Amino acid sequence: MARYDATQKEDTRRKILRAASREFREKGVRATTVPGVMESAGMTVGGFYKHFDSKEDLFRQALTEAVSGTSRLMQMVPEDLTGDAWKRAIADVYLSEMHRDNVKTGCALAALSGDVTRSDRETREVYEAGLEQMIDQFRTKLGVDHETARAEAWQFLAQLLGTLILSRAVASPSTSREILEASRDAAAD
């Protein structure tokens, strides 16, 4: 309510963004509502457009935020690991039941892939940038030969995403566990 206090306004923006990035991941773009996000952020609807142009703009910004939060997931693994040992460690974190059950705060690339596919070019570019960031980090862990490592990085990332997505879509807990285990074991070959 104050004037010239840019910090406070920025704080509010971040609060909305954080609430939005959770709800988008959990419910998807269409089922997430502007009034709902604002309520989660502890505010009323009206103020929304002081911070964002539209719901699509919110999605784009929340995606950016969620995606950069995701690559922090990689820091949960000892820094000195490389190659197959690193793959195994990443798979254990990424394909854990904990990660599967935490859609809200988990990997945005997995949770929002479907929504992004149906979004406009600008949004898909944000998603791609996040992917590239991830691939780049993967590549440095996987070897020196640039081209081969990059291909292996894509392959590994696809495996991780596909497995997590399947494990979340399935109805029975035992099948879900089986899916996670199969790919975790594969990373340890």
User: Among residues 84, 125, 136, 145, which is the contact residue for its own copies, using CB under 8 A?
Assistant: 125
- The set of residues, in sequence order, having a beta carbon less than 8 Å from that of 17 and lying 6+ positions away, is 58, 61, 62, 65
CA distance linking residue 71 with residue 57, whole number of Å = 22
Q: How far is the CB of 123 from its own copies (least distance, A)?
A: 8
> Is the Cβ of residue 1 or residue 171 nearer to its own copies in the bound state?
171
User: Among residues 2, 98, 144, 171, which is the contact residue for DNA, using CB under 7 A?
Assistant: 2
Q: Scan residues 44-73 and list those touching DNA (CB under 7 A).
A: 44-51, 54-56
Q: Does 34 bind DNA (CB under 7 A)?
A: yes
Segment contacting its own copies by CB under 8 A, of 8-16, 38-46, 49-57, 108-116? 108-116
CA distance linking residue 67 with residue 108, whole number of Å = 6
Phi, psi dihedral angles at 157 (to 5 degrees): -60, -40
CA distance linking residue 65 with residue 100, whole number of Å = 20
CA distance linking residue 61 with residue 38, whole number of Å = 15
Q: Does 34 bind its own copies (CB under 8 A)?
A: no
- Residue 106 CB neighbours (<10 A): 23
Q: Scan residues 153-182 and list those touching its own copies (CB under 8 A).
A: 154-155, 157-163, 165-166, 168-172, 175, 178-179, 181-182
CA distance linking residue 2 with residue 86, whole number of Å = 49
Q: Which does 133 bind (CB under 5 to 8 A by kind): DNA, its own copies, none?
A: none
Q: Does 14 bind DNA (CB under 7 A)?
A: no
Q: Does 186 bind its own copies (CB under 8 A)?
A: yes
* Two tokens, residue 153: 């990085």
Q: Does 151 bind its own copies (CB under 8 A)?
A: yes
8 Å CB contact between 73 and 93: yes
Chain residues that interact with DNA, rule: CB under 7 A: 1-5, 8-9, 12, 32-36, 38, 43-51, 54-56
